[in-house]
Structures are given as structure tokens and as C-alpha cells.
Structure 1
């Protein structure tokens, strides 16, 4: 019987070639709509968005799956700018 592989194991085999100094996503720090921010925080499959106690949203680009879910959901409200990483940077999926 084949062993079931969980999401963390699947993500663990991916390779990341990230630009540690430049994020491909810019967060709109002027947006203070907590409902919109909460939606983006909850929808990120890699859990890279967070909110501090004052309500400011943060994004950690290292480990991003580049799925575009945050961009599609926020429609420019929380995610100010989204583009694929340049050149050979970003995620390289390894699980079939």
C-alpha cells in the first residue's frame, strides 16, 4: 500500500531560488481594511502573510508558491504589486 504524502512533505521537495533582497510582491501598507487583510492572510497556501497587533500586514516572500491567489483575491487592495520573480529566481516545483 502506498504511503499518503501530506502537503508539507510535497512542498518540502520543491526548490526555491529566491532573491533574498527583492520581493516580487508589494503590500499596500495604506490599506487598513481588516476584513480584506484577513482574507489575504488566510488564503495564502504557504502562510506567508501575517498581521501584527497594530493591524499592519507583512509578507515574507521567501517560500512563495507564486500561485497568484493573493493577487486575484485582493484586486490591488492589499497586494499593491505582484509579478513573477526575475530570471531564474522563484520556485521550481519538484513533485509530480
Structure 2
């Protein structure tokens, strides 16, 4: 079984609550870092220059939590029990 075959077995169960909440006016340098840093590509900057987070597919690695403070992300927590990434290695 190839790596891609194993990764394709992973599933993501949506949570009824957001587990990542951005600040109202985060620092632009921090936003740019999130866009670059996230291995799942969940952060982007929209046409208005605001931070957008697509939490579906978040790998819950915590990289964004490690590089940002509460001035950028107000809240970062694991999704509710049974929700989020479910790794299945085949």
C-alpha cells in the first residue's frame, strides 16, 4: 500500500463548533505566517485582506497555535469528541 493509499483512508468528521477562532484584527505578518505554515492549507487571505479559515480538513497538528498568540487566534482547541481528523493507516 502506497503512502497516498494510506492517506486516502483518513476521514474528517465536522464539528458543530469552530475549534479555531481568529481575532477581530490580527497582525498581517501573523496572518501571512499562518497561510504559509499550515500543512493542510486551511488559512487564506480573502480579497478584502481578511483571514479566512476553512476548518474542514484541519490536521489538528497545532502548528498555528504554536506560532500565534491570542492577538491572532483567540481560541484553538481540539474539535469535540468524535469530530475532526480520524487517521486510518490502512
Check 1:4–1:93 CA distance in 2 against 1; reply closer, same or farther (3 A cut): closer
- Point out where structure 2 has 5 or more consecutive residues left out of the alignment: none
Instruction: Quote the RMSD (CA, aligned, Å).
Output: 1.9
> Does residue 15 of structure 1 match 2:11?
yes
Note the 1:72-83 alignment, pairs <5 A: 72-83=66-77
What is the aligned length?
Answer: 90
TM-score by length of 2: 0.85
Distance 1:4 1:51 in 2: 34
**Structure 1: runs of 5 or more not aligned:** none
CA contact (8 A) 1:48 1:60 kept: yes
TM norm structure 1: 0.80
